[in-house]
Amino acid sequence: MRASWWKILTIGLLLYTLIAGLLLDVPRLPILNETIRALHFHVTMWFGMIIMLVVAVVYSVKYLRTSDIKHDDMAIEFTNAAILFGVLGIVTGMLWAKFTWGDYWSGDPKQNGSAIGLLMYFAYLILRNSLTDVHQRARIGAVYNIFAFAAFIPLIFVLPRLTDSLHPGNGGNPGFNAYDLDSKLRLVFYPAIIGWTLLGAWMANVRVRLRRIERKVEDKLINQVS
């Protein structure tokens, strides 16, 4: 029971996010209106994605320092979970953009930067799968993962602020905190970030356990053959 309390918390937070995010009163802001509810899904998923990418980078650094393959397991699976949340974040963002900006994809700098960033991480997965040696794959993957994160952050946080952007807080547009006077949004927003992040960690840990079981089975088969 002690080991699963955070899983119960995850389920509770996500149920709360779903119910409160769709039913709780929201501020009636120009253009946004009811679509502001997407904030609890689109933005919070991306917050969770960033946190998971940070965890993945930490484990990549740990692998480069120790050559312990267990650290690589954590790095790749947290990255996989982050990519999933990144894709979901883009999809929910496109739906939100359709109702507020008029198009699913308007070529906004932050949209383009996010897409480029995800393509970099897809390339990371392709690169890893092209290598057969376990430690070579882990070592090259760790280096790539670190540099990909270093490039990803400017793409989605720095460059959109240097040019015109429709996103709040970028290109001269005020952020949500500047014009949102209803604190009820925060009652869902912060729990949603925690919930999505915990869900990603849960998924990553399940995948890590499966990966290690598969490795043990493979090692047994090799020992039997030899």
Task: Write out pLDDT tens, residues 18-77.
Answer: 998 888 877 776 666 777 888 889 999 999 999 999 999 999 999 999 999 999 999 999
Which pair of structure tokens corresponds to residue 28?
Answer: 């009636």
Res 165: pLDDT: 64
| Cβ atoms within 10 Å of 155's Cβ, excluding its own | 19
- Which stretch of 16-20, 139-143, 215-219 has the lowest confidence by average pLDDT? 215-219
What does pLDDT average to over the chain? Answer: 86
| Cβ atoms within 10 Å of 45's Cβ, excluding its own | 26
Q: Provide the percentage of residues in the chain whose pLDDT is more than 90.
A: 57
Q: Which residue has the tokens 């899983």?
A: 7
| Cβ atoms within 10 Å of 13's Cβ, excluding its own | 21
Res 50: pLDDT: 96
Res 178: pLDDT: 46
Which pair of structure tokens corresponds to residue 215?
Answer: 């490795």
Res 57: pLDDT: 98
- Give pLDDT tens digits for 95-117: 888 888 888 888 888 888 899 99
Quote the pTM value. Answer: 0.88
For residue 108, give the nearest of 93, 89, 118 by alpha carbon. 93
Is residue 141 predicted with pLDDT exceeding 70?
yes
143 or 21: which leads in pLDDT:
143
Is residue 202 predicted with pLDDT exceeding 70?
yes
Locate the domains of the chain by residue range: 2-225
